[in-house]
Amino acid sequence: MIAIKELLSTESNGINVKLFEYDVDDEQSFNELKEYLISKIRTSKVHNEENYDLNYYGSKNLNPEFIKKFNEQALRISIPLKSKIPQFDVRRERVTEWMAQLLLEKKYNCKFHGEADKRMNMEPVNIDKHTSGIDVPGIRIDNGQAKFVVCEVKASEDKKIPCSSAVSLQEDIQKSIDNKEKRVTKEILQYMFDIRSIKMKDEELLMIIDFLAKLIVNAENSLVDNIMFFPVIIRNNEEIIKNKNAGDYRDFDVKGVCSRNIENIVIAFQRSINEFSNYIYTEAIGNE
């Protein structure tokens, strides 16, 4: 079981703030977190060898040695390049977004269908590009009521609290609030398009589809009340755990959304975020 501790629940500028910690001192829990992230990469469309199966094309070059060389070369091509600026590295971006997604699944009953996961379904030509749009869109089911999840994620090893990333995080959330009829409805439509490929249409999935369809039709009137915003900052700063400090949201203030439809989250992670992200990718698919 991946251990996620809730360290603090407070309020800042009228918005609920929660501080969580991924417990890296619990060896079993930390290993399970690593395995979860490695699995996400390996099963991603662009890294899954089954998607490059030469049998599909009816290729005549099907001797075992040739297939082995082809698979090795395909895997090498799909390894994302490292950025000279760690904050802009796509590996770090994807790993931290999956970490935020996992926490929302476990602590907020959110659902993120793999078929609609932008990172899981990336094309080879986009492997070195940052994911466009909302970082982590999904669905939250709370007491039988659905809301569309808009989660924006930043990661910081800044020694200062608030960290500089809090400003850009606020800007990203405000952008979605101000342009929800255009920005968020496009994400909703994309989500609906992606989950069409799910073969087993259970009652919950049908409820989600109906909910999203109604949001599209009544976007002007009902959209604002049916979105749950989750700003997430992943932090490597010992001060945060030591003093249960959620001060990254001290100056965070957004307009145009009810307080019940937004919750600010700090995730304390006592490891180098850059090194951890590179480690996860290397373990999953090798290095450049």
pLDDT tens figures, 226-248? 999 999 999 999 999 999 999 99
Strands (E) across 29-161 are located at: 110-111, 136-142, 145-156
- Place 199 in a pLDDT band, splitting at 50, 70 and 90: confident
Distances in Å between the Cα of 198 and the Cα atoms of 101, 145, 210, 287 are 20, 21, 15, 33
Q: For 157-180, what is the mean pLDDT? A: 94
pLDDT in tens, 17-26: 999 999 999 9
Would you state the pLDDT for residue 15? 97
Does residue 273 carry a pLDDT above 90?
A: yes
Does residue 288 carry a pLDDT above 70?
A: no
- Place 107 in a pLDDT band, splitting at 50, 70 and 90: very high
Angle at 80 between CA 167 and CA 281, to 5 degrees: 85
Report, in this order, helix, strand and coil percent for the chain, each rounded to 5.
50, 20, 30
- From the list 269, 259, 281, the residue with the least C-alpha distance to 5 is 269
User: Domain ranges in the chain?
Assistant: 4-285
pLDDT in tens, 33-82: 999 999 999 999 988 878 888 877 777 778 888 888 888 888 889 899 88
* CB neighbour list of residue 111: distance below 8 Å, 6 or more residues apart: 105, 138, 139, 140, 141, 208
Query: Is there a contact between 266 and 250 (Cβ–Cβ < 8 Å)?
Result: no
Distances in Å between the Cα of 231 and the Cα atoms of 90, 209, 252, 278 are 19, 25, 10, 24
